[in-house]
Amino acid sequence: MAATIYYINKGINQPLYFKGFQAQYVSYLAIGLVLLMLLCASLFFIGFSPYICLILAMSVGSFLIGKLHQMSRRYGRFGLLKAVAARKIPHSIRNNSRGIFMHPDRYFKPKEWTYAQ
């Protein structure tokens, strides 16, 4: 009797991916589309023309999808969180060079040791 091999859990440890949107951008897209639908419905109930609501929804929706797709491609799964965290670091403690770690003698002068008498 031949052994049967079952392939299960192929997507384990993989980020959520939907039509080019990865990870948290899928939820951002869903929230944005729900808010856009509520905006369009409220404008329609206020008394705006359906054509104006449709044009507004299409333009804002295409901008939302384009911007989220751009952010998903640029930052990826965790990049947006890293970019936000990097902006919160104060300028006074930022270090963009490795020189201080590679050649500490250039940056820090050793103190002369003297013995107290």
Q: What is the pLDDT of residue 1?
A: 61
Angle between helix axes 79-87 and 50-75 (nearest 10 degrees) is 80
Residue with tokens 């939907």: 18
pLDDT of residue 37: 94
pLDDT at position 21 is 74
What's the pLDDT at 117? 60
Quick one: pLDDT at residue 116?
A: 67
Q: Give the mean pLDDT of the chain.
A: 83
**Residue-wise burial string across 29-57, b where 16 or more C-beta atoms lie within 10 A, e elsewhere:** beebeeebeeebeebeeeeeeeeebeeeb
**CA-CA distance, 2 to 89, in Å (whole number)?**
60
For the record, the structure tokens of 28 come out as: 């951002």
pLDDT (0 to 100) of residue 58: 93
List pLDDT tens digits, range 75-102. Answer: 888 888 888 888 888 888 877 788 878 8
Domain boundary assignment for the chain: 21-89
* pLDDT averaged over 10-residue windows placed end to end, the chain, 117 residues: 73 70 83 93 91 92 91 84 86 79 78 69
Rounded-to-integer distance, Cα 65 and Cα 36, Å? 12
Q: Comparing C-alpha atoms, which of 92, 95, 90 is closest to residue 107? A: 95
Which residue bears the tokens 């384990």?
12
